Structure 1
Amino acid sequence: MAGHTHGATSGRLLWISLALTITFVAVELFYGLRAHSLALVSDAGHNASDALALGLAAYAVWVARRPAGPGNTFGYHRVAILTAWFNAAALVVIAIVILIEAWSVFLHPQPHLQSGLMMGVAAVALVMNTVIAYWLQGDSHHSMNARAAYIHMAGDALSSLGVLIAGAIVHYTGWTLADPIVSVMIALFILYSSWEIIIDATNVLLEGTPKGMDVPALVAAIRSIPCVQDVHDLHVWTVGDGINFLSCHIVLPDEFTVIQSSTVVSAVNHKLHDSFGIGHATIQAEIGDCSGCNMDPEELFCFLESHSHGCGHDH
Structure 2
Amino acid sequence: MAHSHSHSTPQGANDGNARRLLLAFLITAGFMVVEVIGGLISGSLALLADAGHMLTDAAALLFALMAVHFARRPPNSRHTFGWLRLTTLAAFVNAIALVLITVLIVWEAIMRFRHPQPVAGATMMVIAVAGMLANILSFWILHRGSEEKNLNVRAAALHVLGDLLGSVGAIVAAIVILTTGWTPIDPILSVLVSCLVLRSAWALLKESVNELLEGAPSSMDIAALKRGLRREIPEVRDVHHVHIWLVGEKPVMTLHVHVIPPHDHDGLLERIQHYLEHHYQIAHATIQMEYQPCSGPECHLNETQAEHAHHHHH
Q: Choose from 242, 245, 255 the match for 1:237.
A: 245
State how far apart, in whole Å, the 1-side matches of 2:218 and 2:24 are. Answer: 29
Q: Choose from 270, 282, 288 the match for 2:286.
A: 282
- Encode CA deviations 1:92-116: one digit per residue, 9 max, x unaligned: 1111111111111111101x32222
- In the TM superposition, residue 73 of structure 1 has moved relative to its aligned partner by 0.9
Question: 2:173: which partner in 1?
Answer: 166
- 1:213-224 correspondence runs (5 A): 213-224=220-231
- In the TM superposition, residue 253 of structure 1 has moved relative to its aligned partner by 2.0
- Cα gap change, 1:140/1:237 in structure 2, threshold over 3 Å: closer, same or farther? farther
- Cα gap change, 1:199/1:103 in structure 2, threshold over 3 Å: closer, same or farther? same
Report the TM-score when normalising by structure 1.
Answer: 0.80
**Tell me, what secondary structure is at the counterpart of 1:233?**
strand
- In the TM superposition, residue 146 of structure 1 has moved relative to its aligned partner by 5.1
Question: 1:306: which partner in 2?
Answer: none
For the 8 Å contact 2:239–2:256, the answer to whether it is kept is: yes
Question: 2:270: which partner in 1?
Answer: 266
State how far apart, in whole Å, the 2-side matches of 1:105 and 1:148 are. Answer: 34
- Identity over the aligned pairs, expressed in percent? 37
* 122-131 or 243-252, which deviates more: 122-131
* 36-45 or 227-236, which deviates more: 36-45
For the 8 Å contact 2:17–2:153, the answer to whether it is kept is: no
Question: 1:103: which partner in 2?
Answer: 110
State how far apart, in whole Å, the 1-side matches of 2:96 and 2:159 are. Answer: 12
Question: 1:307: which partner in 2?
Answer: none
The AA in structure 1 aligned to 2:280 is F
The AA in structure 2 aligned to 1:245 is V
**Tell me, what secondary structure is at the counterpart of 1:251?**
strand
Question: 1:69: which partner in 2?
Answer: 76
For the 8 Å contact 1:65–1:76, the answer to whether it is kept is: no
Question: 2:217: which partner in 1?
Answer: 210
Which structure carries more helix by proportion? 2
- 1:44-83 correspondence runs (5 A): 44-83=51-90
* 93-102 or 28-37, which deviates more: 28-37
Question: 1:19: which partner in 2?
Answer: 26
Question: 1:115: which partner in 2?
Answer: 121
State how far apart, in whole Å, the 2-side matches of 1:25 and 1:117 are. Answer: 16
The AA in structure 2 aligned to 1:205 is L
The AA in structure 2 aligned to 1:235 is H
Q: Which runs of 5+ in 2 are unaligned?
A: 1-9, 294-309
State how far apart, in whole Å, the 2-side matches of 1:85 and 1:207 are. Answer: 14
- Cα gap change, 1:236/1:47 in structure 2, threshold over 3 Å: closer, same or farther? same
The AA in structure 2 aligned to 1:127 is L
- Encode CA deviations 1:63-100: one digit per residue, 9 max, x unaligned: 33111111111111222222222222221111111111
The AA in structure 1 aligned to 2:254 is S
- In the TM superposition, residue 161 of structure 1 has moved relative to its aligned partner by 0.6
State how far apart, in whole Å, the 2-side matches of 1:154 and 1:8 are. Answer: 23
- Cα gap change, 1:150/1:80 in structure 2, threshold over 3 Å: closer, same or farther? farther
Q: Which runs of 5+ in 1 are unaligned?
A: 296-315
For the 8 Å contact 1:60–1:83, the answer to whether it is kept is: no
- Cα gap change, 1:239/1:266 in structure 2, threshold over 3 Å: closer, same or farther? same
Q: Choose from 102, 119, 130 the match for 1:124.
A: 130
- Cα gap change, 1:140/1:77 in structure 2, threshold over 3 Å: closer, same or farther? farther
The AA in structure 2 aligned to 1:272 is L
**Tell me, what secondary structure is at the counterpart of 2:174?**
helix
State how far apart, in whole Å, the 2-side matches of 1:153 and 1:73 are. Answer: 33
RMSD over equivalenced CA pairs, Å? 2.9
**Tell me, what secondary structure is at the counterpart of 1:75?**
coil
State how far apart, in whole Å, the 2-side matches of 1:215 and 1:8 are. Answer: 36
